Amino acid sequence: MGTYPPRECGIATFNQDLLASSQKYLGKAVSCKVAAMNLTPLDTYVYPPEVVWKIDQSDKNAYIDLATEYNNNPLITGVIIQHEYGIYGGLDGENILLFMETCRKPIVATLHTVLPKPSPKMKDVTTRIIERANIIVVLTESSKHILEKVYPQSVNKVHVIPHGIHPTTFTDTTAAKRKLKLQKTTILTTFGLLSRGKGIEYVIKALPKIIKRHPSLLYLILGETHPVVRRSEGESYRNELSKLVTKLHLDNFVKFYDQYLSLPDLMEFLNATDIYISTSINPNQAVSGTLSYALGSGRAVISTEFAQSKEIITNETGRLVPIMKPKAFSKALIELLDSKEDLMKMHRTAFEQTRPMLWSSVALKYSRLLKQYILPPVNLSHLAKMTDKYGLFQFAKLELPDKKFGYTLDDNARALVICSRLTASPYNNKLASIYLHFIKKCQQADGTFINYVDHHNKMAAIQNLNEDLEDATARAMWALSEVLNNKNMPANLKKTAKSIFIKALPYAKRLLHIRSSALIIKSFVNAISACPEYSKELTASIQKNANFLVTEFDNNSDKSWHWFDNYLGYNNAIVPEALFIAGQAVGNKHYLDKGSEALTFLIEKTFSSNRYMPIGHSEWYKVGGERSYFDQQPEDPASMILALVTAYEITGNKKYKILIDICFSWFLGNNSLQLPLYNPENGGCYDGLHPDRVNLNQGAESQVSYLLSRLSVSKLYSNENSSNKKYIS
């Protein structure tokens, strides 16, 4: 609820971006609709289909009628109000209270303006908004602090969700400048609807001194005059700026683009920008969408000091300057322009630090506030991008495959498990064929496997000789067994999988490590029905491996430590999961009991305060030592989710189901840093959590770990196929 394009307004653009990202994230399970505010009854905007309701902001009855309609519609599950005092009519936007105090649906109110010293009327309106809203969202920590200080009743109601940014690939300025025919120039940019509060004149006054040192400079002022301003004073502000440019002999150095730019055009200009300038003269401005977009496109920023800029800009991403101080602009610009190398570092840092602000992440946080536990749609775009005709590449630089490191059996095996668990289709079968034939390539004449293949599709001899390959072998057997156990897989793929599996069977029965033994249990249980001629041999090996795990558990456990080894490392949950599987397969309650005891211990060590915290890979957690919390990697929540799903299916214990939800939410931002690792734009997954940031590379292990988790959870939740569509306004 708020303004909406084609009305030209910052809140309108915000609403459209939030809705588009929400709809993309939520998929078909939830439909997002809009109640758009018009300034007067004479407005005749041609709105897109998602706008179902149009409200004249001065029509008090319309607010009450809309709330009544929502109350009577069982499909509407909640309302998100984008609040700005000037768009709802009445004194300080008081008409919105007519809607809020009539509506009985859950309401999330996003306050885009939070003032430390509001007028009495504004304070009264805001107080009533806070009292009625179920949840209050602000866009910065400073806004939260101000709100809770001025309105104590808001404490425990306020959540911070940043202004969103659009996904873009990080680039330097060269290509965009060439496209815009701005080569051999140094570009400064300011964009947005023009009004006197922009403070652009102070940047113009700063330019003469800078141009003496950097004569290739060009300052682009992008955007038309704000429609409301144009109604009251026409183009007087733009004309004043133009006269100032001429007076200072800057006509060759300043260029106005008097138009409302489309998003693609805007991003093109930002890609060409060397330094973005945020010019607000309002120290109480809570947030600037233009500032967010500039940083999000990977551009260094010089900004005046206001709430958001002071919170988001560091010396690694730009500079802060006092409001209305041309000399401060001059000094900051010269400092940044004098060092192109440092400036490029700022571009990269700005890009990396703003990834948590992607609209997809913002949409996810809003949906969680409205209690919409929706699984993201399965998206194989990144998996396909990481795959060529030979197999799945091991590593990535950001979202691009880093081909020089080649491929691993380990990753391709797990990718085959994913394809086996997906609904059969020509596309999925094609991927499955690639991964299966990679496994076949890795099998040696004696039935054993290599793990590493270089980027020329040749065996990486040194790595294969120097590393233990038991885990990779066991994962290959698991993947093959998944194909064998899937009646929907094409017959030719099942035949190939069986021949590889049988050839490797003698070697696979001799694996010694606890994790490889656990994977072999999973593999052999899967394979029994598909290989009846080997059922006795497979069953005997299942019992042998399960007995080995029980013995290791008993040998390493004491009153406070209930585990199979003297440390917790990677992929831990696979081991208790294997005992659950073995216990059910051979009817041995002792295996089930030991699996339950070990899983309970692992849960105690990795779940806390409604959050999953895997053992950090920086240092394993040893008996008597301190556990590490970073670096957290996606393999571990994936392993835990698979184990919890298995435990829930076998025991029916609802505590496991609750923990599955918590563990999966680790990917979506419910983790130690409160940052998402799932990338809704391409279906990828970031490589892990460092103490201070997300690792933005999207390698194979992270991708297959996320997809395995997503497909396992969908065994319990199939919201993406639900016919009971819900609505969010």
Of 103-107, 355-359, 400-404, 514-518, the range with the lowest mean pLDDT is 355-359
At residue 729, the pLDDT reads 47
DSSP 323: T
At residue 102, the pLDDT reads 96
At residue 717, the pLDDT reads 61
DSSP 714-725: TTT--GGG-S--
Residue 371: pLDDT band (50, 70, 90) is low
540: Cβ–Cβ under 8 A, 6 or more apart, which residues? none
At residue 719, the pLDDT reads 33
At residue 658, the pLDDT reads 87
**Region 399-408 average pLDDT:** 94
**Region 144-165 average pLDDT:** 94
**Region 547-554 average pLDDT:** 97
470-484 helix and 426-442 helix, angle to the nearest 10 degrees: 140
pLDDT in tens, 219-241: 999 999 888 788 888 899 999 99
The total of other beta-carbon atoms located within 10 Å of residue 64's CB is 15
Cα–Cα–Cα angle for 482, 484, 485, rounded to 5 degrees: 65
At residue 542, the pLDDT reads 97
At residue 170, the pLDDT reads 87
At residue 201, the pLDDT reads 96
Residue 75 has phi, psi (to 5 degrees) of -80, -20
pLDDT in tens, 555-588: 999 999 999 999 999 999 999 999 999 999 999 9
At residue 724, the pLDDT reads 42
pLDDT in tens, 698-724: 999 999 999 999 999 887 765 334 334
At residue 23, the pLDDT reads 84
pLDDT in tens, 641-688: 999 999 999 999 999 988 998 899 899 888 888 788 998 888 999 999
At residue 45, the pLDDT reads 92
At residue 372, the pLDDT reads 54
291: Cβ–Cβ under 8 A, 6 or more apart, which residues? 276, 278, 301, 303, 308, 309, 312
Burial class (CB in 10 A: 0-12, 13-18, 19+), 264: exposed
Q: Cα(671)–Cα(677) distance, rounded to whole angstroms?
A: 9
pLDDT above 80 (res 274)? yes
Cβ(697)–Cβ(395) below 8 Å: yes
621 SS3 class: strand
Q: Are strands 678-679 and 684-685 parallel, antiparallel or unpaired?
A: antiparallel
Cβ(505)–Cβ(447) below 8 Å: yes
Residue 394: pLDDT band (50, 70, 90) is very high
Cβ(662)–Cβ(670) below 8 Å: yes
pLDDT in tens, 486-536: 988 999 999 999 999 999 999 999 998 999 999 999 999 999 999 999 999
**Count of H helices and E strands in the chain?**
28, 26
Ramachandran assignment for 443, one of left (phi > 0), alpha (psi -120 to 50 degrees), beta (any other):
beta
**Nearest CA-CA partner of 505 in 483, 486, 527:** 527
pLDDT in tens, 304-325: 999 889 999 999 999 999 999 9
Q: Which two tokens stand for residue 702?
A: 């992270």
pLDDT above 60 (res 373)? no
At residue 461, the pLDDT reads 63
At residue 356, the pLDDT reads 80
Q: Please, what is the average pLDDT of the chain?
A: 92
CB crowding 185-194: b at 16 or more within 10 Å, else e: bbbbbbbbbb
At residue 567, the pLDDT reads 96
328: Cβ–Cβ under 8 A, 6 or more apart, which residues? 206, 321, 322
pLDDT in tens, 113-140: 999 999 999 999 999 999 999 999 999 9
pLDDT above 70 (res 112)? yes
At residue 163, the pLDDT reads 93
Q: Which domains does the chain show, CATH number per domain?
A: 10-160 (3.40.50), 174-357 (3.40.50.2000), 397-715 (1.50.10.10)
**Region 605-618 average pLDDT:** 91
The most confident of the ranges 8-12, 280-284, 557-561 is 557-561
Question: How far is CA 597 from each of CA 317, 417, 576, 590, 592, rounded to the nearest angstrom?
Answer: 49, 28, 8, 11, 9
pLDDT in tens, 71-96: 999 889 889 999 999 999 999 999 99
